[in-house]
Amino acid sequence: MAQILVVDDEMGIRELLSEILSDEGHSVTLAENATAARKARNEKRPDLVLLDIWMPDTDGISLLKEWSAANLLTMPVVMMSGHGTIDSAVEATRVGAVDFLEKPIALQKLLQTVKKALKHEVPAKPPLTLDAFARSPLLKDLKKRLEQATASSRILLLKSATGSIAEICARTMQAQRTAWLDLSELSVPLTQEMLDNAAGGMLFVADLMLFGRLQQKNLAFALERLEKYNLRMVAAVSRPLSALVEAGWDPLLIARLGDVWIALPQLSGHADDVPEIAVLVLSHLVERHGMPPRRFSSAALNALRLHHWYGEWMELLAAVKNLAIAALEDEITVEDVENILQRDADSEPYIVSPLPLFNQDLRQAREAFERQYFEYHLKNERGNMTRVAEKTGLERTHLYRKLKQLGLNLGRRLDETER
């Protein structure tokens, strides 16, 4: 039978529903609030969730929206409420609920609704987009800049990007229910018929540096026909465009690709965003790529937050993927994180750190270095601004201005050290 998660803040209702559903042969897990529901959903992977609307910490509809935004609605959800209204039912259905039960719940109504919901086919799993990272200021800002850029051009170049993060950006810009064509996967000449089949959709290039002669011809062929087939293109490049020139690319093609571009934001200076990014990427790997069920311990997430990501996005995404594969238990521990990061540091002692700086223009490289420099001293001096000012040789007012300019969040650190 089915694995059912019941989420309700009233103990009596939880126990009653559990007894009824267990008698029907189902395996039931109980959660008293949204926090417990998140944990149970990730650990148990229920076939169905019965979710109360009114709860003390986070209401049911907000939790439903959260799961939907993070692409975690991989199971049908039935909402429950003792204060149900038509508006609540409509809102829940719009967000992703398959049905609505009003309390007090009649026995036959419950059983009929559960039976019907379990037969509901969940739509194909959508790809991960920046919409899932709604609580990350860093990625919310990136999404806005992507939207501005694509509003004025059919072609967008992502600098200092490749692989997974580039695809997440491109998927974010892809219109719903439109075609997706990855030019990196084509090993035959691109034809007008292929473009016609992809009309109105997105063309994607994971890394221009990996393109051979045939793929470069396909790229040029596609660029000439974007308008005709109402196509958009997002192309990523992991190295400066000058490297494409050195590799023998047509300068006119490079110029066309580099007309509108965005550089990925630096993780340095945004340590507080790292845990949420890591959790969502891990969920994506588990849900859509067949990885074993995994979750981060609090200590593991803190280790990721404190790590200096000199390899930026490529290093972070690779670390999460390797943790998903290599962890021996369902819970990824701080020891797992330290082992992976240490192994990376030992295997690539010279490549990981300097290249991200060298791949940027001088202004960006200087800012990245300054963030790392001040983060180092802030950490060593435990946020004590007097000692940081002495170590860096800056007057305190100038120091505060510089840290604010670099986007280093000092609020919590100052509260703890200089109150």
Please report the pLDDT score of residue 354 as a whole number. Answer: 44
412 pLDDT tier (thresholds 50, 70, 90) = very low
Mean pLDDT within 137-157: 91
Q: How confident is the model at residue 8 (pLDDT cuts 50, 70, 90)?
A: very high
Question: What's the whole-number mean pLDDT along residues 187-206?
Answer: 92
E strands along 82-152, which residues?
Answer: 99-102
Is residue 161 scored above 50 in pLDDT?
yes
pLDDT of 40 above 80: yes
Give the residue with greater pLDDT, 170 vs 43: 170
44-77: per-residue pLDDT in tens? 889 999 999 988 888 899 899 888 766 678 899 9
Residue 108, judged by CB atoms within 10 A of its CB (0-12, 13-18, 19+), counts as exposed
With bands split at pLDDT 50, 70 and 90, how would you rate the model's confidence at 353?
very low
d(C-alpha 131, C-alpha 231), whole Å: 22
Structure confidence at residue 360 as a pLDDT band (50, 70, 90): low
Burial class (CB in 10 A: 0-12, 13-18, 19+), 213: exposed
pLDDT tier at 418, thresholds 50, 70, 90: very low
419 pLDDT tier (thresholds 50, 70, 90): very low
- What would the pLDDT profile of 225-262 be if each residue is shown by its tens digit? 999 999 999 999 988 888 898 889 999 999 999 889 99
CA 204/CA 376 separation, integer angstroms = 38
Q: What is the mean pLDDT of residues 33-41?
A: 90
Q: What is the mean pLDDT of residues 327-331?
A: 88
Domains and CATH numbers, the chain: 3-118 (3.40.50.2300), 130-263 (3.40.50.300), 271-347 (1.10.8), 361-417 (1.10.10)
358 band by pLDDT with thresholds 50, 70 and 90: low
Instruction: Report the candidate in 149, 145, 150, 155 with the shortest Cα–Cα distance to residue 227.
Output: 155
Write out the two tokens for 252: 């006119």
Whether 411 and 417 have beta carbons less than 8 Å apart is answered as no
pLDDT score, position 6: 97
Mean pLDDT over each residue of the chain, to the nearest integer = 84
| Percent of the chain scoring above 90 in pLDDT | 40
Predicted local distance difference test score (pLDDT) of residue 359: 55
pLDDT of residue 193: 92
- Per-residue pLDDT band for 90 (boundaries 50, 70, 90) equals confident
Q: Is the pLDDT of residue 349 over 50?
A: no
- The fraction of the chain above a pLDDT of 70, given in percent, is 88
The pLDDT of residue 300 is 93
Query: What average pLDDT does this structure show over 365-389?
Result: 78
**Average pLDDT estimate for 131-158:** 89
- State the virtual CA torsion across 342, 344, 347, 351 in degrees, nearest 10: -120
pTM above 0.75, yes or no: no
Question: Quick one: how far is CA 304 from the chain centroid?
Answer: 15
The letter for the amino acid at 118 is L
Q: In 10 A of CB 397, how many CB atoms?
A: 9
Do 343 and 241 contact (CB within 8 A), yes or no? no
Residues with Cβ within 8 Å of residue 284, at least 6 apart in sequence: 71, 128, 132
**What pLDDT is stored for residue 352 in this prediction?**
38
pLDDT greater than 70 at residue 127: yes
pLDDT digits (tens, 9 = 90+) for 269-322: 788 889 988 988 888 777 666 677 788 999 999 999 999 887 788 888 889 989
Torsion angle in degrees (nearest 10) through CA of 126, 129, 135, 139 = 180
Q: Please give the backbone phi and psi of residue 371, each rounded to the nearest 5 degrees, phi first.
A: -60, -45
